[in-house]
Amino acid sequence: MPKNKLYKNVAIIAGSQGFRLISRLGDCELIGPVKTPFGDSAPVHRMTVNEAEIFVMSRHGETGYHLSAPFVNYRANIWALKDLDVQRIVAWSGPGAIDPSIPIGDILVPDDLIDETKGRQTTFFEGLGIGFIRQNPVFCPELAKSLISEIEKHQGHHRSGEVYVCTQGPRLETRAEIRKFASYGGTLVGMTLIPEAFLAKELEMCYCPVCYITNYAEGVIERSYEPGKLFEGLLNDQEKAKVDAVVDALPGIVIKALLSAPQTPECRCSLAMERYKRRGDIGDDWREWIKQPEC
């Protein structure tokens, strides 16, 4: 990595345990929850690593899982990062595996999404005639390339072609639902990437997830019900040890990927709203694109 080169305008949206682990790697300054038209965002920290500035936000809480996925204020969080002039976001998620050939503890970048959420606010453009945005690629290909490179260095391989099914939660899925998702081509199941990915695209931000596999989904591998254990027995002690080791390594992988991405993006994420700009529907100020919620 070149020295004395400043990388700015990048962010990590971390899962549970995320801030605690990421903050070990650099100096952190709390800049607070950002006030947005959609309420306060999650707390945001500015971290400096080797002269690089990275914003860090935890979806679920900074000391544990205090807010489950259906109740995260995704619009406030994405607005806040855009307001801080963030251009690139890496978001981590710990899905379960629908495909039994995926090892527990594997790290990968999914290729596609299936939306099985209900009632989440998935757009900034409520009541407006804009937002018909193509979703292929659904994630930034440039960030994906950087993440995959770092994953391969860490674990020696990377699976491609994975499809992340995002469910509503907080409950886990039934066996029949998992069979349904498998019939759609889903290989991973989690609760966090939607609507984050769609909202970031609406504000022309690069967004890419990195996933670590936490367990096999219900019915994929038969496991007895064990009250009081994580996921009530869907992963055993050996698998949990693998997951813990991967979570510990993930912040370093993500930061290296963010800092190794080209300083000037060559992807087209920043052009998602270009059609509406050329047509004269919107101007350059992204804040004016969005209908403000009434107080």
Write out pLDDT tens, residues 125-146: 999 999 999 999 999 999 999 9
The mean per-residue pLDDT over the stretch 163-176 comes to: 97
Using CA atoms, how far apart are residues 250 and 21, in angstroms rounded to an integer? 9
Question: Percent of the chain having pLDDT more than 70?
Answer: 94
What's the CA gap between 3 and 186, in Å, rounded? 41
| 112 within a domain of the structure (yes/no) | yes
Determine, yes or no, domain membership for 242: yes
5: pLDDT strictly greater than 60: no
* CATH number of the domain enclosing 60: 3.40.50.1580
pLDDT tens digits for 20-68?
677 777 778 888 899 999 999 999 999 888 778 899 999 887 777 789 9
Q: Which of 98, 70, 94 is nearest to 176 (CA)?
A: 98
| Residue 197 predicted with pLDDT over 80 | yes
Is 3 inside a domain boundary?
no
Q: Which domain range does residue 183 map to?
A: 10-289
Residues 6+ apart with CB under 8 A from 240: 230
Distance CA 93, CA 78 (A): 16
Q: Quick one: pLDDT band at residue 3, thresholds 50, 70, 90? A: very low
- Is residue 6's pLDDT more than 60? no
Q: Which residues contact 250 (CB under 8 A, 6 or more apart)?
A: 21, 92, 107, 210, 212
pTM for the full predicted model: 0.93
Write down the mean pLDDT value for the chain: 91
* Domain presence at residue 20: yes
| Assigned domain for 282 exists | yes
Q: Residue 16: its pLDDT value, please?
A: 63
Domain presence at residue 4: no
Q: How many domains does the chain have?
A: 1
pLDDT surpasses 90 at 293: no
Does residue 1 belong to any structural domain of this protein? no
166 located within any domain? yes
The DSSP bridge pattern shows strands 163-167 and 188-190 to be parallel
